[in-house]
Structure 1
Amino acid sequence: MFILFFIFLFTYANSQSQLYNQEHEILLNIKSHFQNPSFLSHWTKSNTSSHCSWPEIVCENDSITSLSMINTNISQTFPPFLCDLKNLTHIDFQYNYFPYEFPTSLYNCSKLQYLDLSQNLFVGNIPNDIDRLGRLQFLSLGANSFSGDVPRSIGKMKSLKNLQLYQCMFNGTIADEIGDLFNLETLLLFSNGMLPRTKLPSSFTKLKKLKIFHMYDSNLFGEIPETIGEMVALEDLNLSGNFLSGKIPNGLFTLKNLSILYLYKNNLSGVIPDVIEAFELTDLDLSMNNLTGKIPDGFGNLEKLTSLGLFVNQLSGEVPVSIGRLSALTDFIVFQNNLSGNLPQDFGRFSKLETFQIGSNSFKGNLPQSLCYHGRFVGLTAYDNSLSGELPKSLGSCSSLQYLRVENNELSGNIPNGLWRSMNLTTISISENKFTGELPERLSPSISRLSISYNRFSGRIPNGVSSWKNVVVFDASNNFLNGSIPSELTSLPQLTTLLIDHNKLTDRIPSNIISWKSLISLDLSNNQLSGEIPDAICRLPSLNMLDLSENKISGQIPPQLRRLTNLNLSCNYFTGRIPSHFENPVYNRSFLNNSGLCADTLVLNLTLCNSGTARRSDSSTPKAMIIILVLVASLTVFLLIFSIISFYRKRKRGLKRTWKLTSFQRLSFTKSNIVLSMSEDNIIGSGGFGSVYRVALDDGLGYVAVKKIRGNSRKLDQKLVDSFLAEVEILSKIRHNNIVKLMCCISSDDSLLLVYEYHEHQSLDRWLHKKSKTSAASSTVHHNIIDWPKRLHIAIGAAQGLCYMHNDCSPPIVHRDVKTSNILLDSQFNAKVADFGLARILIKPEELATMSAVAGTFGYIAPEYAQTIRVNEKIDVYSFGVVLLELTTGKEANHGDEHSSLAEWAWRHIQIGTDIEELLDEDAVEPSNLIEMINIFKLGVMCTSTLPASRPSMKEVLKILIGCRDPQANAEKIVDIYDDAPLLKNLKWEKQVEYSE
């Protein structure tokens, strides 16, 4: 027996030694397969330490059971021999760059229970025989590029407890058989926006053990099954951002374990169920639906509720008093409903309230006085109600407050002491109330927007206004402010909007306004200002609106005052001749009631400047003058006859048709000026739509660009008409310094003309890719290469235009054809986003819109758009990312072969670890800008991520572009924006000096 036992021990030890050696050799082969990466430098043949001590390895009984390589930059193929590690139960390779299809070699891992391949670059379908991994309890394939169906075979994996298939590119069906996974506790199917419209499989409600179910942003429609109330284990349910309709099932609020319920941004209707038994609820968001009726009284019994979101619905009635007494409540958000009555006064007293948003309702009475009782309060929005009384005094000592919006109410009294100087406050918007008092000498340096118009503020604008350095908007219209405008007001460098009209201000307009370089709108009307217009106003580079009407300003109108979009100098004491460039019907209401003004024409309905002197000189004109006049008259008649002949010749050549002009700006030209000036010599560009012309204006002060869309056989192509109408619809509604200005459209039966402001530097691609075009209209040949500072300036400008379209337009606008040829440059290389023929207005904010066909340009088209014809703002982010790659590399968007593009080329180099410096445009890179160019290249790569959810928004892109001017100060902030992005830790941001990662 002893001998047999000894033989057994010897045999076991020998087999264990063989197993160890075998597994050690496999690990070294894995390292070699991954091309010996530095993070595996400790994987050696040395016998000094067991591989079971390596951090990537977990062993049981001296055999490897777990292998983890998370976020390690692996870009090679999956090792086909990995499952030679026969005892593997756990594999975690998330956040890498594994390419190609699902590795079916994993089927050889017969003991595998845990598999995480999320956040990689896998493509193709999930295999139909994936159930061969029958022992799996955890499977995560999320954030890859898997497409096709979620296969039925997954329903056979009976051991699964956690299934994660989020953020993929599925465009088929989701198998009902998932409902057969009776042991499933977590199911994540969110952000699968490429799925066709699909109903929530009713079989899912059979998952009695399911605790976490996320299927938001996944194109669900139809009603939520009533049987969802049978999912008794549910703790976290998120079905937001879909197209669900019908009523909220009664059983949903009876789930005893439910703590998080998100149904926001759907089409749900009807009343909220009044049977509330889900007492574990902490987060409840039913916002952005069509819900009606009252807020259930039962919500006041949810003692653990921290956040209640009901905004943008049609709820009515009063807020239950009991909700204000909830001890855990931090966020109460019910704006844009039909709620009424008095607000419960206990809000903030019993809980650490942070946000209280009740705007656009019909509330009356006082605001709750204890909003900042616990010192955590961040923001109050109560605009568009009928609230009265004073602001809560506690707000004056609320250091956590960041924004205050109570405009359009009946609030009164003085602003609480300390509120003006609240150190975290950025926005004070209290317009259209009955507030009194005087403006403060000191203002918190964090405040950027101060809107106090239509109140009863009095006194002077304080000299301490010079300390308001970060104010961008100052609107104090329609108050009782008096005294002179202090010169200190002119020292605010960030100011874009200054509205102090309809007050009692006196004396002159300050002349030293050189700091107002960002000022766009200036309204000083309806005051008692005197003196002359300061010459400095004429030199404000960004000024677009100037209103000085209803004052006592005198003197001549400075000839240097340029043409503005909005100009009103009426009802003053101006004298002299109107500058010739204002003799335009556009300004026919800009100079009214100035008795001393005259004009050279009758266009402005003013006295003619030479009407009196002409009559006095009739009788005393010398004979020589008569002869000269006769000669001039003869010459004039000859030129007139010649012009008439030319005019009729042109008409015979095809200008006999009737033209209709629709104006969107004040114009300094007529439709005949445009129609008669389009000749082949004036062509500066062409495309599938037709040609673009440069047309000189009649006043000789500039040019316009005219896009001509013309059909064949006297009939316009319907696609061109649709493109024309899309561009007119969008550009006629939006105004931004970085979006091309549409001045008017002119149409006939077979031709459509769009008239824009002209930009002499034309499009970015002609500079960036060394393209040239010469003609009579375009004599410039672009040989000069724009340097990096100009490129970054152009990128910021274009990003500002797109950011405005995505975030500030309501509803948002998606361009769909962002490219370098659609970015125009003015004389200062300011970027203007142009060509909106393919643009679309989204149906609802952030909602996907379905197009009938793919449109765009190869190299710029986002992959999801090409595959699913679905549109949201992220396709513009992708295209803009390509523009950033062009700006940094100098290469064109179609760089590569017939199947690849610049974006794919850049991603490929990132995957293989190429030094980015080698990829940059040698014509632009300098030691001083190398870090900036590397950062912008990385930003371009992020923007062209395959998954839309992994791309930043344009607002985030703009923030990074601006921050890149100072990488040392902004590197960490830039990284923070992308904490959730798959590439974050692989595309680290460069910094001017070394810093700890």
Structure 2
Amino acid sequence: MTKLNPICAKMPFFSLFSFLLLHLFNSAHSQTQLYDQEHAVLLKLKQYLENPSFLSHWTPSNLTQCSWPEITCRNGSVTGLALVNTNITQPFPPFICDLQNLTRIDFQLNFLPGEFPTSLYKCSVLEYLDLSQNNFVGKIPDDIDRLSNLRFLNLGANNFSGDIPASIGRLKELTNLQLFQCQFNGTIPVEIGNLFNLEFLFLAINSELPPTNLPVSFTQLQNLKNLLMYDTNLIGEIPETIGEMVALEYVDLSGNQLTGEIPSGFFTLKNLTVLFLHNNRLSGTLQMPAVVEALNLTILDVSENNLTGNIPEDLGSLQKLTGFGLQMNQLSGEVPESLARLPALIDFIVFSNNLSGPLPLELGLHSSLRKFEVASNSFTGPLPVNLCFHGKLEGLTAFDNKLSGELPESLGNCPSLGVLEIYNNEFSGSIPSGLWTSLNLTRFRINENKFTGELPQRLSSNLSFLSISHNQFSGRIPAGVSSWTNVVVFNASKNLFNGSIPQELTALPRLTTLLLDQNHFEGPLPSEIISWKSLTTLNLSRNQLSGQIPDEIGRLPVLSVLDLSQNQFSGQIPSELDSRRITSLNLSSNQLTGRIPSEFENLAYDTSFLDNSGLCADSPVLNITLCNSGIQKSTKRSSVSLALIISLAVVGSLAAFLSLLLVIRVHRKRKQGFGSSTWKLTSFQKLGFTESNILSELTDRNIIGSGGYGTVYRVAINQKGDFVAVKKTMSSRKLENKLENAFLAEVRTLSSIRHNNIVKLLCCISGESSKLLVYEYLENRSLDQWLHRKRGTSAMSGSVQHAVLDWPKRLQIAIGAAQGLSYMHHDCLPPIIHRDIKSSNILLDSEFNVKIADFGLARMLMNPGELATMSAVTGSFGYIAPEYAQTTRVNEKIDVYSFGVVLLELTTGKEANYGDEYSSLAEWAWRHVQVGNSAEDVLDEEIKEPSYVEEMCCVFKLGVMCTTTLPSSRPSMKEVVQILLRCSSPLLYGEKNLRDYYDVVPLLKNSKREDRSDVDNDS
């Protein structure tokens, strides 16, 4: 029995009752006062945030704050406040700790400015603080350990700089610490190793940190389960004592510069399930300890290192292993048979090594393989027959090996197969019949083998890329080809096909590339080919085709490459052929007759009409018979005399006229500085022309573009049809200094870099008042002309007026441009910032390969990672990053923003300055995502097809991610490339790493303007 207080025991019963009643009343009154006080604080917060609509239910009359979704209560008092992704732009509310019982504050995914709010020190019981993905700046305060009760701290994706304070190591209760994706440029404190309760450590994507070793003290974290430090500029060796971190489950140290061997201690960790070490500089062999204890390991990715030696046989003891990435190393020897018997294996990825010998025949038999990537090795023998035994195989890439034999018949019964790329091997025999029609097959590349047989009537309805060239296929192209409606590229060159080219082949609406050269086709071409509205490349050379060239070929809207050479075509050249659109033409070695269209009478087409005895030209430039050479001469002396008199008179007049023109031209050249003695040529490549070849062609008829920095010309440099692009700066004296600086910047930048996706500067030519930059010429000009149907300034204008750039080409363009920018940012020393990325500065060659151009605004960062301040903002509206417009402070992230706008253009088809009440395409896209609308709703309707929607949505979301307001929340260009490759068919470009594919930890955790993905590891 409970004993009463002695005082209470002496009280009369009524007095005792009154005492208890008074106590309850006082408690209830205090509780009511606290409740009212907290209610008032919340209403004050709403007013401080300028009464946002999302808090419309916070009203004086609504006294049930504990039921509000943003509020968490315990015992009737507010203990939690979550205002997540609500566009808060005000500084952190300084009075928030007036809510005295707050244990949890979550303000992530907003735009909170200023420094770390030290007013939080008044929250004496605070345990959980998430201020990630805001606009905080400055240092994390050195006395942050005053928040001594913190168990969860997330300050990631802000602009915090300087050192990570050592005082964080005194927050002894911390179990979860996230400081990812900031601008720290100081040190990683070894004191973090004192957080003995820590279970989750996320320091990734801090590339501004100076090169630093992985602190050995971290190996003291005996309770740490997740260690994420990818892209953190780590150097040196991984401590061998990492094997003492017995609780480790997930480790990601990828994307650093770690060296030395992989510690065998990793394989003594019994709880380890995921290990990512890809994209480092690790060397040596992959050593396994005598006793492998990492029996729970499911993912092992050590790709993109410098590993040598053989694949360890003991990997076969990791019975839970689902995938391992060994690609892009220097491994040699054969693949151990033990790997084929792993029961959980999903992904077998070993491409780009020095592996050899036969592939284990049991691969696929004991597990549900999804990806099988063995390309670019020296494997021999047949493919394993059980790769699709469980019906899950999505991609098979085995190109560039020495594999032989027939394809397994089981591949014809693999409905999941999406990509088959086995080109450049020694395969033979016929194709399994079911493989042609495999339901999900999109890419089928078997060229450069010894396959035989005939083409089927039907193909997979999803097949877009079909390449079977350099084989021994025979027979006719079947009439059923009309059902191949999704085929974009059909390459059947160098086979044994015969018969005529069927009319049904012209019914393919998405076909862009048709290569049927070096076969035995005969007869005339189909007469109705106008449905080839997307065709850009047509090669039918080296066949026995005859008859006339259909006039409709000249009316194909986007055809740019046409090769009908070495056939038996007769009749005249269609007058509809347009030199403004046809950039590569070959009609040689036929039986054509008549007059060559005058627009082709220039050196660019001097080899286009050879070996056609019936052709003639009006000009001698093509070295072909002149059309007037057969005129009969009169035998009458009077006619001869009269002709002689007239001729002498004409010649005399003409001589006088030409003399006058010469005087005027010389005077003009001297005035403009065009005299040969005033020009200086500086070459950066081996040239096949001189400055005189260039100067003589700078005429109005060769103008192809103009802008603020001058005029661009297309100039033929030889008789082979080769062109260069020449940019001539304007000669206004007011712009002299500005143009001089721009010219020098572009020369300095472009002459020092070499990359397939950056336009090649051939030479520069300096004159007294003008300067010339001579580039390689890109036939398909700029991306904006294709996307937005912009009309050029030359006779070539309008050639893309009605063309639609399909999604595969747009994705190809996005990847190429990203690779060029990634090279500039990450592989150039010092790194290069372009500062004017836009669709008009992305140029395209005849195959739509990308070249980034116009470096007149580019600058080099003399100290990598350091911000440079420019004197003025330069760029184009709609592409300018907000922080650049406001502060003129420059780093690589301004290029990322501009590139994000280009991605939005590619996916929506809209221009960068598109918007209604908003100011730009980037802001419009952000608003669209913010209100929860689907990305699919804004995709370009002209190209949106069911098979492309997923890829287009992925790239659209990446564009939104790149244009986030907070620079640190934008991915780097290296990461952009990886995401684009993942958006596309991963097997087409090669999977970069398993982390991206499995999406275990997203590349950009909780990225601003992406769908929220909470990370709450508070234990």
- Judge same fold: TM > 0.5, yes or no: yes
Map of 1:369 onto structure 2: 385
Pick aligned residue for 2:41 from 29, 36, 50: 29
Match of 2:262 in 1: 248
Contact 1:299–1:323 (CA under 8 A) maintained in structure 2: yes
Q: 1:841/1:227 Cα in 2 relative to 1: closer, same or farther (>3 Å)?
A: farther
Shift of 1:128: 1.8
**CA 1:521–1:228: 2 relative to 1, 3 Å:** same
Q: Does 1:584 align with 2:595?
A: no
Deviation, structure 1 residue 871: 6.6
The alpha carbon displacement at 1:660 in A equals 5.4
Map 1:911-922; keep pairs closer than 5 Å: none
The one-letter amino acid paired with 1:220 is: L
Q: State the partner residue of 1:692.
A: 711
Please list, as runs of the form range in 1=range in 2, the aligned pairs for 1:758-773 lying within 5 A after superposition: none
Structure 1: 5+ residue stretches without partners? 736-740, 769-776, 780-788, 896-901, 916-934, 961-975, 988-997
Which sits farther off after the overlay, 475-484 or 76-85?
Answer: 76-85
SS at the partner of 1:643? Answer: helix
> Which position in structure 2 is the counterpart of 1:724?
747
TM-score, reference length from structure 1: 0.79
Question: For 1:695-737, what per-residue CA distance to the aligned partner results, in whole angstroms no more than 9, with x for missing partners?
Answer: 99999xx9987423899999997973451365578899569xx
Q: 1:82, CA displacement in angstroms?
A: 2.3
Residue 442 of structure 2 corresponds to residue 426 of structure 1: yes
| Correspondence list, 1:661-810, <5 A | 671=692, 674-675=695-696, 677=698, 691-692=710-711, 706-708=727-729, 720-721=743-744, 723-724=746-747, 726-727=749-750, 747-748=765-766, 751-754=771-774, 803-806=814-817
2:326 alignment counterpart: 310
Q: 1:138, 1:160 within 8 Å by CA — same for their partners in 2?
A: yes
Moved more, 103-112 or 322-331: 103-112
Evaluate the alpha carbon distance shift between residue 840 and residue 311 of structure 1 in structure 2; reply closer, same or farther with a 3 A threshold. Answer: farther
Higher mean displacement: 582-591 or 612-621? 612-621
Corresponding position of 2:664: 646
The superposition leaves residues 14-69 of structure 1 with CA deviations (integer Å, 9 ceiling, x where unpaired) of: 2354234323432343244224555545555669x854444444444443333334
Which residue does 2:211 correspond to in 1?
Answer: 197
Matches within 5 A, 1:518-917: 518-563=534-579, 564-613=582-631, 621-650=639-668, 652-653=670-671, 654=673, 655-657=675-677, 671=692, 674-675=695-696, 677=698, 691-692=710-711, 706-708=727-729, 720-721=743-744, 723-724=746-747, 726-727=749-750, 747-748=765-766, 751-754=771-774, 803-806=814-817, 816-818=834-836, 822=840, 835-837=853-855, 857=874, 860=879, 862=881, 869-870=891-892, 874-878=896-900, 880=902, 887-889=913-915
The 8 Å contact of residues 211 and 233 in structure 1, kept in 2 or not, is answered as yes
Which residue number in structure 2 is paired with residue 969 of structure 1?
none
CA distance change for structure 1 residues 314 and 9 in 2, over 3 Å: closer, same or farther?
farther
Superimposed CA distance per residue, residues 469-517 of structure 1 (whole angstroms, 9 cap, x where no aligned partner): 1100000111111111011111111111101111111111112111212
Alignment pair present for 1:106 and 2:120: yes
- Aligned pair partner of 1:177 in 185, 191, 208: 191
SS in 1 for 2:559: coil
Distance apart, 1:910 and its partner CA: 10
Letter of the 2:27 partner, please give it.
S
SS in 2 for 1:187: strand
Residue of structure 2 aligned with 1:379, choices 395, 412, 418: 395
**Alignment partner for residue 65 of structure 1, among 79, 83, 95?**
79
SS in 1 for 2:548: coil
Q: CA deviation at 1:853?
A: 6.0
Aligned-partner Cα distance in 2 for 1:760–1:617: 54
Amino acid at match of 1:587: Y
**Cα 1:59–1:465, aligned 2, differ >3 Å: closer, same or farther?**
same
Q: In structure 2, do the counterparts of structure 1 residues 148 and 220 end up closer, same or farther at CA, with 3 Å as the change threshold?
A: same
Change (3 A) 1:510 1:949: farther
Q: 1:215 to 1:684 in 2, by over 3 A?
A: closer
* Structure 1: distance between partners of 2:901 and 2:327: 33
In the TM superposition, what is the alpha-carbon distance from 1:291 to its structure 2 partner?
Answer: 1.3
- Residues 469 and 492, structure 2, Cα contact 8 Å, conserved in 1: yes
Q: Percent identity?
A: 46
Identify the residue that residue 971 of structure 1 maps to in structure 2.
none
Please identify, of 29-38 and 938-947, the stretch whose mean Cα deviation from structure 2 is larger: 938-947
Which SS does the other structure have where 2:156 is aligned? Answer: coil
Amino acid at match of 1:224: I
Matches within 5 A, 1:949-988: 949-950=969-970, 981-984=1007-1010
Q: Which residue of 1 aligns with 2:939?
A: none
Q: 2:187 corresponds to which letter in structure 1?
A: T
Q: SS of the counterpart of 2:573?
A: coil
User: After the TM superposition, which of the residue ranges 1-10 and 976-985 deviates more from structure 2?
Assistant: 976-985
Counterpart of 1:631 in structure 2: which amino acid? A
Instruction: State how far apart, in whole Å, the 2-side matches of 1:306 and 1:40 are.
Output: 47
Per-residue deviation at 1:122?
A: 3.0
Q: Which amino acid aligns with 1:112?
A: L
Q: Tell me which of 467, 489, 498 is aligned to 1:451.
A: 467
Cα 1:106–1:720 shift into 2, 3 Å: same
C-alpha spacing 1:529/1:670, structure 2 compared with 1 (3 Å): farther
Q: Give the 3-state SS of the residue equivalent to 2:38 in structure 1.
A: helix
Does 1:945 pair with 2:962?
no
- Give the CA deviation at 1:94: 2.9
Q: 8 Å contact 1:545–1:566 — kept in the other structure?
A: yes
Q: Cα distance, 1:328 vs. partner? A: 0.5
1:227 to 2:241 alignment: yes
C-alpha distance in 2 between matches for 1:691 and 1:357: 49
The 5 A counterparts of 1:454-533 are 454-533=470-549
Aligned residue number for residue 117 of structure 1? 131
Partner of 2:941: none
C-alpha deviation, 1:812, in angstroms = 5.6
CA contact (8 A) 2:843 2:853 kept: no
CA RMSD of aligned residues (A): 5.2
String of CA shifts for 1:293-338, please: whole Å, max 9, x gaps.
1111111111010011111111111111100110001001111111
Instruction: Give the deviation of 1:228 after TM superposition.
Output: 2.2
Letter of the structure 2 residue corresponding to residue 156 of structure 1: R
Shift of 1:402: 0.8
1:292 aligns to 2:311 (yes or no):
no
- Residue 262, structure 1, aligned to residue 282, structure 2: no
Shifted more, 805-814 versus 315-324: the winner is 805-814
**How far did 1:359 drift?**
0.3
Moved more, 89-98 or 520-529: 89-98
SS at match of 2:966: coil
Counterparts of 1:46-61 in structure 2, within 5 Å, are 51-61=65-75
Task: Report the CA distance shift for 1:429/1:852 in structure 2 as closer, same or farther (over 3 A).
Answer: farther
TM-score (normalizing by structure 2): 0.78
> Which one scores higher on RCO, CA 8 angstroms, separation ≥ 6?
2
* CA–CA separation in structure 1 for the residues paired with 2:959 and 2:802: 14
Alpha-carbon distance in 1 for matches of 2:399, 2:264: 33
Structure 2 residues without counterparts, runs of 5 or longer:
1-7, 826-832, 934-954, 984-1001, 1014-1019
Shift of 1:576: 2.5
Secondary structure of 1:304 counterpart: coil
Q: CA deviation at 1:869?
A: 3.6
Contact kept? 1:152, 1:177, Cα under 8 Å? yes
1:434 is displaced (CA, Å) by 1.1
